[in-house]
Structure 1
Amino acid sequence: MTMHHPHDRATEAPATLTWPGDRLLPDQVRAALCGPGAPFERATEDVLGVPTEVFVRRAPHLPALLAHARDTTPDLPYLVFEGVEPITFGRAYELVAVYARVLAGHGVGKGDRVAVAAPNTLEHVLAYWATVSLGAVLVGLNGWWTGREMDFGLALTEPVLLLGHGEPGLRAEATPWMRASGTAALLLKDLHGEALAVPSGAALPEPGIAEDDPAAIMFTSGTTGLPKGATISHRNFVFFSQHGALGGAATALLDGARYRQVPPDVQRASLVVSPLFHVSGAGITLTSAPASGLKLVFPGAGRWDAERTLRLTHEHGVTQWSGVPTHYWRILAHPDFASFRTGQVTMAGSGGAVFPPELMRHIQETMPGVQLGNGYGMTETLGSGTLLTGLMLERHPGSVGAAVPTVRVQIRAEDGTPLPEGEVGEIHIKGPGVFLGYWRDPEATADVLDGERWYRTGDYGRLDGDLLYLESRIRDLILRGGENIYPIEIEYRLVEHPDIREAAVIGVPDKVLGQEVKAFVVLEEGRTLTADGVRAFARETLAPFKVPAHVEFRDALPYTETGKVLKRVLEEEHAAAG
């Protein structure tokens, strides 16, 4: 990495990361994939008033993807839940059509919001599809939120209907906004019962959905302590499947001989470990699966479990895994690993968490030929940004990858000026996956989207050749077991305690979850408080995964001359203490 004096920038060309497949693929192969008339032909079109590179041949909206699967792979299994007969793509279409009719009977129409507070269930998936097929907007409420957080999400989005399942739904139903608004609540099992009473054979509704109409609102934590509703369009969802398909095809052509491949007569299958209110869960369920005939196996409620993962992989012929490095350590260390069928697994993705070199070696020794994948994206880009797979990952394990097809990545200075390769700055992303904005928050939207629809991520990084490297996260994001946690929200809560004068929160390494939450607390003079007392106070208003697992009391916090807490010092001191 090189650092440059500001006056040097005028003589160095700004760097923009683009998909390297255009340069790496042989001409004939590239033409077959991306040339005129090819499946992944690209062109520049107007997207929300801005010229943007897009795929020419694409579904106009999400319901078209489900209709495509009904027409092309009607008999292939699509949704597999334990204790339930597998649902084929054809049957899913039929059920979604009657679900949509029932939801319309409950007053749901185009543009309305339907909130869901539930774990991943068959009814949840079908309700998601039915909502977007009506042109309505699915509001995904985090099942681990407290009642206070549920109330905020409901008040912001004002749904016309709340769908629940057990405890999360009951918490949402009991919030002040729900009581004051009189909004109807319905259990997903009751919705399913109503749908089964409707004669089948209906087609999906045709509400006149445009590509850039909103399809979902996904919540992302904010630096102000309040979550923001990222509004995801039908275009964003459709793009999720297309860039993945082209990237996968290119990797297979470039590195295929080195890695395991799924035989052409075998259906690919994936475990879905992410909740539907997350990018990964919704993206693969609503786009990748129907676009490619992928079977989805849902583990069911409860914590992630290595033995259950291995058993479902064995029973359903799962060919691809997703998770964090800790998951893979646990899978490989399971005492009965060898008794389960895993030879058909071809891919293992880490979802943004970098594979430690030792883990990569262990996977390659235990499961030779499995292709690893890692990437960088966020809710606001529906996960699109960069991707690192195959040989490129083995050669550059510290990177988070190259730009996915049609996406642009730049590193910019604080004033927004694009920087040359090697300089550290803020990561910006542009492409068809960039969200519409934050729901009912134009100020926050304007803060992260410029006039050319470049999304300002808030993360620091640098470009080196075709690859992006993360340097630090300027929002101090904590990645705990797949959940994104912003310390400021916890800090704001802690200093509300009458005995706490100051608080600083960081993420510290954790073997199981990747990171855990640690709070450094300075008490008011003469006051006493225990670590359990701190946690109990936090737990009153924060979701359980945000409650500090570690609490350290200090006489003072380290500050800069400008009054900012030196969190790096806290991290170093924690590491030194073992």
Structure 2
Amino acid sequence: MTNAVDFQALAAQIAGKLTGPGGPFEMTVESVLGATIPVFRNRHRSLLGVLEASKDLGDRDYLVGPDSRLTFAEHYEAAGALAAALTRRYGIGKGDRVGILAANTLEWVLSFWAVQRLGAIPVGYNAWWAPQEIAYGLEHTQPGVVIADARRAALLAAAGAARPVLTMEGDLPELVKEFAGEYPSTEVGEEDPACILYTSGTTGRPKGVVHSQRNMVAISDYHRFTDALAAGLRGQQWDGSPTNRRYLNTSPLFHIASLHNLVIPRLTTGDAVIFHSGGFDAEKILGLIESERITNWAAVPTMASRLLDEDVSRFDLSSLAALSLNTAPSSPALHNRLRERVPVAQVALTTSYGCTESGTAATVATPPDLAANPETVGRPIIGVSVQIRDADGNVVPDGTEGEICVRSPYVMLGYYNDPAATAAAIDAERWLRTGDFGMLVDGRLQMAGRRSDLILRGGENVYPAEIENALDEHPLVRESAVLGVPHEDLGQEVAAIIVVADPASVTEDELRDHVAQRLAYFKVPARWLITADALPRNATGKVLRRELSLGE
């Protein structure tokens, strides 16, 4: 505990110098959409400013794919040419939407930046959507053009897309060649929309989350700030120079973990982004970390867990200097298994809490945070305020569960064309009601679960996450999901779906006893399904609870 306190004090001292008067990340307060919000004083006013500054990074690798790569200079040139093609040939201008529907590719990123030049709004559609879902997205945001890979271009045809579709494999190279040397630009305001991404849709229809220019520039500046803070903690001076890091991208680009918090910030830090192709394969990922000398990986917990099915010792992972678990909850049991098998996890494992609406992580748990409380998701990051509120909107004391509310310059503008949903999510003071529940203890956030996941058992509130964490400590359990099922007397009772390699290797009684040793009796599942089939998950790794069934 003493070391954690010392670390926190040192970090606060360094952060104070960085953000104080005259510091490279000097903080001030400004009115943002009617609320007083802390912001970085010295900042770009749009993503176009970020793109323009990237010219100076020249021949350093920016995007690296299996068969191709783009330097920062090549990317800058290609983005200008594609922007010229979009406006001159297809009439795309300020405020127009341009859909992007594709797997992770270099062209996805190029398309995003080309659209930024025009003051238009890229819309990242979910590449896993079926034709009916694609049709919904097209109708909702009405893009003037859709840029797609060949596979999704066929799905667009099946969805009846009555708009131009440009293929990444065929059309984009030709357009970039034809309009080479052109660099159109359009002025935008800080509160103008910069991007639309869809919520992951674990329940109901997905909503289009609109992030502003301010949001996305601030997120990049946050990442630069963490670099400066890390340098200070190592006793080094930070001057913003590139440090030759290589980031592995395994999350979809239509999600904030990949787009907002990995690909875009690298344009400000000068680091490379390495893409892998095809579905997740643990052996291939380990090989890629070795061959490409990956230094940083932000992993979905499920992916990190699957690594442990391989003989990790066969691979040289010595280049890996940072490992973070994002986008979905992760248990202390998984953290410990990673520390036992993956060297970097022993010293540089972090986890976080955030949502699409918050733009980036609202809190981050550093190794000292996790040492002090293995179940924490950390402290608020710079610029973020977190409150825990009761059902009436009142702030509750530390240690009391309630809804997590967040305010920062990173929080979304709102939901696209849905003022009612926006008003329900963001109040007049720009506080975001996340719909997630937790508590603050010693300045750290601890998660309870989502309101929609809450199980009401005979008057007791039961959050699945707590039980899932307990189940995941069992050595045979690969993953688990807990849900409420109807009960005539109690209203609901607790049920659990357990994924193991061999369903015959463990019994319900063993699992029941395992949980009973750790949690109160009313939290022990009464009904069980033990299976070898993986849990259904969306593209960002979250369990699709609406698809869970005990199979009865």
Q: TM-score, structure 2 length as denominator?
A: 0.79
Match of 2:168 in 1: 188
Say which of 77, 80, 101 aligns to 1:117: 101
User: What residue identity is the alignment partner of 2:315?
Assistant: F
Structure 2, gaps ≥5 residues long: 236-240, 456-463, 498-523, 531-552
Quote the Cα distance in structure 1 between the aligned partners of 2:267 and 2:430.
Answer: 29
User: What residue identity is the alignment partner of 1:116?
Assistant: I
Match of 1:48 in 2: 33
Instruction: Verify the 8 A CA contact 1:348 1:370 in the aligned structure 2.
Output: no
Quote the Cα distance in structure 2 between the aligned partners of 1:357 and 1:184.
Answer: 49
Q: Secondary structure at the match of 2:349?
A: strand
Structure 1 residues 131-530: aligned runs within 5 Å: 131-176=115-160, 178=161, 182-198=162-178, 200-203=180-183, 205-221=184-200, 225-251=204-230, 253-254=232-233, 256=234, 267-300=244-277, 302-335=278-311, 337-351=312-326, 352-357=328-333, 359-360=335-336, 362-363=338-339, 366-367=342-343, 370-476=347-453, 514=479
Match of 1:98 in 2: 81
1:28 deviates by 6.2
Instruction: Verify the 8 A CA contact 1:25 1:250 in the aligned structure 2.
Output: no
1:143 deviates by 1.3
User: What residue identity is the alignment partner of 1:171?
Assistant: L
Instruction: Verify the 8 A CA contact 1:99 1:191 in the aligned structure 2.
Output: no
Quote the Cα distance in structure 1 between the aligned partners of 2:408 and 2:310.
Answer: 41
Q: 1:22 to 1:129 in 2, by over 3 A?
A: farther
Q: 1:145 to 1:27 in 2, by over 3 A?
A: closer
Per-residue CA deviation, residues 307-340 of structure 1 (Å, 9 max, x unaligned), is: 21122212221101121334334334423x3343
Q: Secondary structure at the match of 1:78?
A: strand
Aligned pair count?
479
User: What residue identity is the alignment partner of 2:392?
Assistant: D
1:370 deviates by 4.1
Instruction: Verify the 8 A CA contact 1:151 1:175 in the aligned structure 2.
Output: yes
**Residue 558 (structure 1) aligned with residue 542 (structure 2):** no
Quote the Cα distance in structure 2 between the aligned partners of 1:372 and 1:70.
Answer: 33
Q: 1:419 to 1:148 in 2, by over 3 A?
A: same
1:268 deviates by 0.4
Quote the Cα distance in structure 1 between the aligned partners of 2:343 and 2:7.
Answer: 31
RMSD: 3.2
Instruction: Verify the 8 A CA contact 1:247 1:404 in the aligned structure 2.
Output: no
Quote the Cα distance in structure 2 between the aligned partners of 1:477 and 1:274.
Answer: 28
Instruction: Verify the 8 A CA contact 2:30 2:37 in the aligned structure 1.
Output: yes
Instruction: Verify the 8 A CA contact 1:508 1:515 in the aligned structure 2.
Output: no
**Residue 88 (structure 1) aligned with residue 71 (structure 2):** yes
Q: 1:21 to 1:331 in 2, by over 3 A?
A: same
Quote the Cα distance in structure 2 between the aligned partners of 1:188 and 1:283.
Answer: 21
1:145 deviates by 1.2
User: What residue identity is the alignment partner of 2:393?
Assistant: G
Instruction: Verify the 8 A CA contact 1:251 1:389 in the aligned structure 2.
Output: no
Quote the Cα distance in structure 2 between the aligned partners of 1:290 and 1:411.
Answer: 35
Instruction: Verify the 8 A CA contact 2:192 2:213 in the aligned structure 1.
Output: yes
User: What residue identity is the alignment partner of 2:148?
Assistant: G
Say which of 53, 56, 61 aligns to 1:68: 53
User: What residue identity is the alignment partner of 1:103?
Assistant: L
1:466 deviates by 1.3
Quote the Cα distance in structure 1 between the aligned partners of 2:321 and 2:175.
Answer: 38
Quote the Cα distance in structure 1 between the aligned partners of 2:6 and 2:44.
Answer: 23
User: What residue identity is the alignment partner of 1:112?
Assistant: D
Deviates more, 1:121-130 or 1:218-227: 218-227
1:577 deviates by 5.6
Instruction: Verify the 8 A CA contact 1:509 1:516 in the aligned structure 2.
Output: no
Quote the Cα distance in structure 1 between the aligned partners of 2:138 and 2:425.
Answer: 24
Per-residue CA deviation, residues 202-240 of structure 1 (Å, 9 max, x unaligned), is: 33x321111111111111156872211111111111122
User: What residue identity is the alignment partner of 1:47?
Assistant: V
User: What residue identity is the alignment partner of 1:39?
Assistant: P
1:57 deviates by 1.4
Quote the Cα distance in structure 1 between the aligned partners of 2:488 and 2:191.
Answer: 45
Q: Secondary structure at the match of 1:150?
A: helix
Q: 1:559 to 1:438 in 2, by over 3 A?
A: farther
User: What residue identity is the alignment partner of 1:202?
Assistant: E
Structure 1, gaps ≥5 residues long: 1-19, 258-263, 479-486, 488-505, 521-556
Match of 1:539 in 2: none
Q: 1:109 to 1:228 in 2, by over 3 A?
A: same
Per-residue CA deviation, residues 105-164 of structure 1 (Å, 9 max, x unaligned), is: 212111001111110112111111111221111111111112111111111111111122
1:575 deviates by 6.2
1:432 deviates by 0.5
Match of 1:7 in 2: none
1:570 deviates by 6.4
Q: Which has the higher contact order (CA 8 A, sep 6+)?
A: 1
User: What residue identity is the alignment partner of 1:74?
Assistant: G
1:567 deviates by 5.8
Q: Secondary structure at the match of 1:400?
A: strand
Match of 1:568 in 2: 494
Q: Secondary structure at the match of 2:397?
A: coil
Instruction: Verify the 8 A CA contact 1:422 1:463 in the aligned structure 2.
Output: yes
Per-residue CA deviation, residues 338-390 of structure 1 (Å, 9 max, x unaligned), is: 34331111111110433434643642564156401100000001123101112
Quote the Cα distance in structure 1 between the aligned partners of 2:73 and 2:478.
Answer: 38
Q: TM-score, structure 1 length as denominator?
A: 0.76
1:401 deviates by 0.7
Instruction: Verify the 8 A CA contact 2:347 2:367 in the aligned structure 1.
Output: no
Quote the Cα distance in structure 2 between the aligned partners of 1:268 and 1:363.
Answer: 22
Quote the Cα distance in structure 2 between the aligned partners of 1:124 and 1:477.
Answer: 37
Q: 1:421 to 1:140 in 2, by over 3 A?
A: same
Instruction: Verify the 8 A CA contact 1:558 1:569 in the aligned structure 2.
Output: no
Quote the Cα distance in structure 1 between the aligned partners of 2:302 and 2:201.
Answer: 26
User: What residue identity is the alignment partner of 1:306?
Assistant: A
Q: Secondary structure at the match of 2:433?
A: strand
Deviates more, 1:133-142 or 1:426-435: 133-142
Q: Secondary structure at the match of 1:250?
A: helix
Match of 1:544 in 2: none
1:29 deviates by 3.0
Quote the Cα distance in structure 2 between the aligned partners of 1:281 and 1:386.
Answer: 17
Q: 1:290 to 1:513 in 2, by over 3 A?
A: farther
Instruction: Verify the 8 A CA contact 2:481 2:496 in the aligned structure 1.
Output: no
